[in-house]
Amino acid sequence: MINNLELYRVFYWTAKELNLSRAAERLFITQPSVSHAIKQLETELGVALFHRGSKGVKLTEEGSLLMLQVDKAFRSIESAERHIAEMHQLMRGELRLGSSDSLCKHYLLPHLGRFCSEHPRLRIDVAHGTTPEIIRLIKEDRIDFGIVRMPVEDPALVVMETIEVQDRFVAGPRFFHLTDNVLKLSELVSHPLILFTKTSSSRKFVEDMARSHGVLLEPEIELASVDLLVEFAKAGLGISFVTRQFVQSELDTGKLKEIRLAEPIPARKIGIAFLKNRLLSSATKVFIREYLGVPGLK
């Protein structure tokens, strides 16, 4: 293969123009430089590429064969450059992300809806799962970034904080009498609890919090969906542990009430996680920076 690919660019424009002077104008070089490059390419290939004449040049049979392939190569390069420009301008490309169902519904969806409306030509691929599952998908390169509940301690990841949320125990009408007074965790566990499944970060968080106060949580029901946690609580099947912001409408309408605890429940943050040293796409950077409002991505 010819080491100096610039020779092919000179050949390409000479073959397109069939005139050394016009090729030189296209390339912003001198005519002798064009002649020298053509001779160098012919020497390296061991064939004549042009017939020289007083009115210009004409491709030889070997030159025509070479031009057929070089033209295809240049068109492919131009197409790739055009696609890259379109991706940079968010005219094409893909947004690959993951989150839990609750974060998708209550946090991600409004931002994603606006993004899709303003960039309709982009493809959106959303994976669902718990925070540990989303982290696994990031590491397997099945998604570019994830919306996760913090804290996340993983040296392979960059995690950027977004919003702060507050978790609470809530109950339906069957247990409204428990909302009249402040309860201790040790008293709360005497009633049926409805918690996320053991693989979720929310389950680990509430169990660690309770354990720090010497209390062991043993739920009656385990569920994988915040919507089911809400519905089961409304139906009187137990007391659910949910993010307060995600059940605000139920609290406002009186369908659920908050159980007040003597022990404080620490606030948590939602984060954006992606692999360290990963080159994020233009679509990903714009979405995180401009739609989720997370600064710091260039």
Q: 209-258: per-residue pLDDT in tens?
A: 999 999 999 999 999 888 999 999 999 999 999 999 999 999 999 999 99
Give the C-alpha distances (Å, rounded to integers) separating 263 from 172, 179, 207, 214, 219. Answer: 21, 15, 13, 11, 19
Q: What is the rounded average pLDDT of the residues 31-45?
A: 93
Query: How does residue 270 score in pLDDT terms, banded at 50, 70 and 90?
Result: very high
CATH number at residue 143: 3.40.190.10
Same domain, 107 and 119: yes
Same domain, 30 and 112: no
CA–CA gap between residue 122 and residue 228 (Å, rounded):
32
Q: 147-169: per-residue pLDDT in tens?
A: 999 889 899 999 999 999 999 99
% of the chain exceeding 70 in pLDDT = 94
Same domain, 84 and 224: no
Q: Count up the domains in the chain and report the number.
A: 3
Same domain, 134 and 154: yes
Is residue 48 assigned to a domain?
A: yes
Same domain, 103 and 12: no
Is residue 174 assigned to a domain?
A: yes
DSSP 101-152: HHHIIIIIHHHHHHHHHH-TTSEEEEEE--HHHHHHHHHTTS-SEEEEESP-
Q: Strand 167-171 to strand 239-243: parallel, antiparallel, or no bridges (unpaired)?
A: antiparallel
3-state secondary structure of 49: coil
pLDDT computed for residue 2 by the predictor? 55
Same domain, 138 and 178: no
CA–CA gap between residue 12 and residue 5 (Å, rounded):
11
> CB–CB of 196/258 below 8 Å?
no
pLDDT computed for residue 207 by the predictor? 96
Q: 172-210: per-residue pLDDT in tens?
A: 999 999 999 999 999 999 999 999 999 888 999 999 999
SS3 of 188-238: HCCCCEEEECCCCHHHHHHHHHHHCCCCCCCCCEEECCHHHHHHHHHCCCC
Same domain, 51 and 28: yes
Same domain, 175 and 246: yes
The domain in which residue 135 lies consists of 94-164+269-291
CATH number at residue 56: 1.10.10.10
Tell me: cis bond preceding 151? Omega within 30 of 0 counts: yes
